[in-house]
Amino acid sequence: MKKNGFVFAVTLLLTQVFSPAMANASPMTPFRWDLAPAMDSQENFVNWMQQNRHEDPGFLVQRWRRYLAVVAVKDATDERVKEAFLWTPREEFVRPINRSHSYDSAFLDIGYGVTISGPHLVAHMTSALEVKQGDKVLEIGTGSGYQSAYLSHLTDKLWTIEIIKPLAERTRGVYDGLIAKGYSEFSAINSKQGDGYYGWPEAAPFDKIIVTCGIDHIPPPLLQQLKPGGIMVIPVGPPGAQHVLKVIKQQAADGALTVSRSDIYNGRVVPFVPFKKLEGDVIKGAH
């Protein structure tokens, strides 16, 4: 009896000590194209994500509330773009000091003099890109990595270029850490350090190109690497005062190429960090 009582007490203790750890040790449900988080209420979304993705309920509530705001002002209208917003853990891409501000409607400092764009702007630009599953997408300006992480829920063919070497390396580390945790969708992101003005010729042509730094013209190499029928979203204008353009490259039956442009904010000025220039290994001025 005494021995049985001891065994019972030890078993109970072990169960209490190890159960929570064992529950968390269950593998995270990987992202799948045919799977969606619950989107009918905050409670169901948070529960679904906690159970399947093991994410922090506090951040999930904030993500849900920002999602409602993004949808309310029509920064995301397409169902896939809305769903992708809910899949993407923005809190993993901001600096630790700013984690509590992850879902604020604001850009945030990510070091090296650059920023992660605000969630509304990212959703709006992503919507304008009209990404279809299987599209080849190039991003110029990896920064925190959030934009490409968002896009990885819309296509599995992504390339991204960042000019600041330590930032490119840090963000690669963030992706690799998250892939190891179970965010297998981020394996679709090919990243490198370099001057994005010249695109990524070895991976071209692209169906879509998104530029997240501001410039006063459309870089000819990027236009050249865009497929006919392809879309580029790019902030164009003088320093700190760009218009976000949706550029569509069209090809006529006789092969002639034309380019149409529209302002995705109907004339509103949106400031971006400058599209910098690399000379050798050194960043010198802007394009």
Which parts of this chain interact with ligand SAM (CB under 6 A)?
A: 114-117, 140-141, 143-144, 146-147, 161-164, 167, 195-197, 212-213, 272-273, 275-276
**105 classed as catalytic:** no
Report residue 256 as tokens: 């002639």
Residue whose CB is less far from ligand SAM, 151 or 247 = 151
Comparing CA positions, the residue from 56, 181, 62, 169 lying closest to residue 112 is 169
Residue whose CB is less far from ligand SAM, 234 or 273 = 273
Compute the least distance from the CB of residue 86 to ligand SAM, in Å. 17
| Interatomic CA distance for residues 116 and 272, integer angstroms | 10
| Interatomic CA distance for residues 188 and 197, integer angstroms | 22
Residue whose CB is less far from ligand SAM, 46 or 167 = 167
Compute the least distance from the CB of residue 109 to ligand SAM, in Å. 11
DSSP readout, 195-257? -GGG--TTT--EEEEEE-SBBSS--HHHHHTEEEEEEEEEEESSTT-BEEEEEEEEE-TTS-E
Residue whose CB is less far from ligand SAM, 147 or 225 = 147
Compute the least distance from the CB of residue 227 to ligand SAM, in Å. 21
Residue 226 and residue 210 in contact, taking contact as beta carbons nearer than 8 Å: no
Residue whose CB is less far from ligand SAM, 46 or 218 = 218
Compute the least distance from the CB of residue 95 to ligand SAM, in Å. 11
Sign of CA dihedral 89, 95, 100, 101: negative
Compute the least distance from the CB of residue 168 to ligand SAM, in Å. 8
| Interatomic CA distance for residues 132 and 156, integer angstroms | 10
Strand partners, 256: none
Sign of CA dihedral 129, 135, 140, 146: positive
Compute the least distance from the CB of residue 154 to ligand SAM, in Å. 14
Residue whose CB is less far from ligand SAM, 60 or 116 = 116
DSSP readout, 35-70? -----S-HHHHHHHHHHHH---HHHHHHHHHHHHHH
Catalytic residue among 100, 102, 117, 262: 117
| Interatomic CA distance for residues 5 and 137, integer angstroms | 63
State the catalytic residues: 117
